[in-house]
Amino acid sequence: MTEQRANEPEVTWLDPDTAQLRQPKSSHWEAPFLYLLFGRERSLLIDTGATSDEEQFALRGTIERLTSDWLRRNPVVFVRPYPLVVAHSHAHGDHIAGDALLRGRPGTTVVGTSPAEVIGYFGFRSWPDETVALDLGRRVIDVIGGPGHEPSAVVFFDRRTGILFTGDTVLPAHLYVRDLPQFRATIERLIRFRDDPTAAVNELRGAHIEMSTNPGVAYPAGTLHQPDEAPLPLRPRILDRVLAALDELTGAPGERVVRRRFIVVLDR
């Protein structure tokens, strides 16, 4: 089910307790995807979008609407204010700009965006190799260290839906590698996580779509209209292809490895 009003995100319920939000292209060409996951004790918002102006992108209003809709459907959850944790796939501006709209909201914790704040909030003792659990109340999210695109990046795994929320690390777009050894270690970590028989990873959902349905062809940065964009979800086996693409890099700045569903760019 997809619904949209003027400055509001495109909202897609992935299951009754999981909403995918996409910031409209009209408010910012990056059009990032955000995710809102509801549990019995609190909800988790992954990323806040590229704009801190509610007029341009009604993040706060949308969170209020989706939360009250969900609470109406779940009368067993009676704690008020119903807590919200705002966390981030990573600290780049197009994923954290909306924090300002949610800071000060009743019952809301906005997790800081430095590596130290991320490590401290989630309780990593061995960053980035450890996986830590975040319990939303009968819904456990695994938080996996994910630096390489950006130093404070994490990947969230929702055991309920089997979705790995991969931010700007793995997505149908350019994979901008800022720190190659760390990025490679993150992909290897995600492969180990995927191959753990207890994990049951169904698909990956990242934070942008830049690829077209034409294999290996991306829309240029700044594109506002993407009529033939590739689908967002990626199969878990894409991780092997990302690792193989990283192996082709020789280390030259700006180097690119083009694949059907993504383009690796050595960005340093």
Site of interaction with Zn ion (CB under 5 A): 92, 168
Q: Which of residues 92 and 205 has its CB atom nearest to Zn ion in the complex? A: 92
Cβ at position 90, least distance to Zn ion in Å: 5
Cβ at position 136, least distance to Zn ion in Å: 25
Q: Are 124 and 130 in contact (CB under 8 A)?
A: yes
Cβ at position 168, least distance to Zn ion in Å: 4
Beta strand segments in the chain, E: 2-3, 10-15, 18-22, 33-38, 43-46, 84-87, 108-110, 131-135, 140-145, 154-158, 163-167, 174-177, 203-206, 256-258, 263-266
Residue 254 has φ and ψ, to the nearest 5°, of 85, -5
Q: Which of residues 95 and 241 has its CB atom nearest to Zn ion in the complex? A: 95
Q: Which of residues 17 and 168 has its CB atom nearest to Zn ion in the complex? A: 168
Cβ at position 147, least distance to Zn ion in Å: 12
Residue closest to 223 by CA, chosen among 159, 174, 170: 174
Q: Are 235 and 260 in contact (CB under 8 A)?
A: no
Cβ at position 39, least distance to Zn ion in Å: 26
Single-letter amino acid code for the residue at 171: L
Q: How many CB atoms lie within 10 A of CB 61?
A: 14
72 to 68, 69, 156, 187: CA distances (angstroms): 6, 5, 26, 39
Q: Which of residues 13 and 29 has its CB atom nearest to Zn ion in the complex? A: 29
Cβ at position 149, least distance to Zn ion in Å: 6
Q: Which of residues 94 and 229 has its CB atom nearest to Zn ion in the complex? A: 94
Integer-rounded Cα Rg, in Å, for the chain is 18
d(CA 36, CA 194): 22
Q: Which of residues 66 and 187 has its CB atom nearest to Zn ion in the complex? A: 187
Q: How many CB atoms lie within 10 A of CB 98?
A: 27
